[in-house]
Amino acid sequence: MTNIFKTTAKIALTLSTLAFAGTAQAGFFDICKDIEIKLVNNLDEKVEVFDIDYYDPGTERWASEPFKNRVLSPGQSYTFERNLEGVKGTRSQIRAQYHKKDQQGKYVGDWRSWSKRKECKSGKTEYTVYIKN
């Protein structure tokens, strides 16, 4: 009887290991790589972009991407690449959050602009966020 329990335990352990590996592998392939994100300031004033997020339709949540604050003058654009996790093959969207200057010249407030939703395809997707009121 003891050998049957050992054999059953080994089979269960092997199956759970394979299931975990399959889940990890599936998550790895959901990465949408080399996505081009373009920010365009369509306002008549400078703005400071402080956060970039992308929408994950699978979790119905916004995920933040690392982004160093960047000041954009009127009409200026800035383009960069990112890998977006968990959204390959889904209709995702980019959101930029930014500050405007107050009368004392300090960047304050929290404004947001969004790109259009597009299917995320590695190396082929470009999202443009037009910063506007």
Domain that holds residue 73: 31-131
- Regarding whether 54 and 23 lie in a shared domain, the answer is no
Nearest CA to 45 among 13, 73, 14? Answer: 73
Whole-angstrom distance, CA of residue 27 vs CA of residue 33:
13
- Is 97 in contact with 50 (CB distance < 8 Å)? yes
- Regarding whether 115 and 72 lie in a shared domain, the answer is yes
Written as tens digits, the pLDDT of the chain (133 aa) is 555 655 555 555 555 544 444 433 344 458 899 999 999 999 999 999 999 999 999 889 999 999 999 999 999 999 999 999 989 889 999 999 999 988 898 999 999 999 999 999 998 899 999 999 8
pLDDT value at residue 73: 97
Number of domains in the chain: 2
- Is 100 in contact with 45 (CB distance < 8 Å)? yes
pLDDT value at residue 129: 98
- Regarding whether 24 and 37 lie in a shared domain, the answer is no
pLDDT value at residue 1: 52
b/e code 21-41 from CB counts within 10 Å (16+ = b): eeeeeeeeebebbebebebbb
Query: Which CATH number goes with the domain that contains 111?
Result: 2.60.40
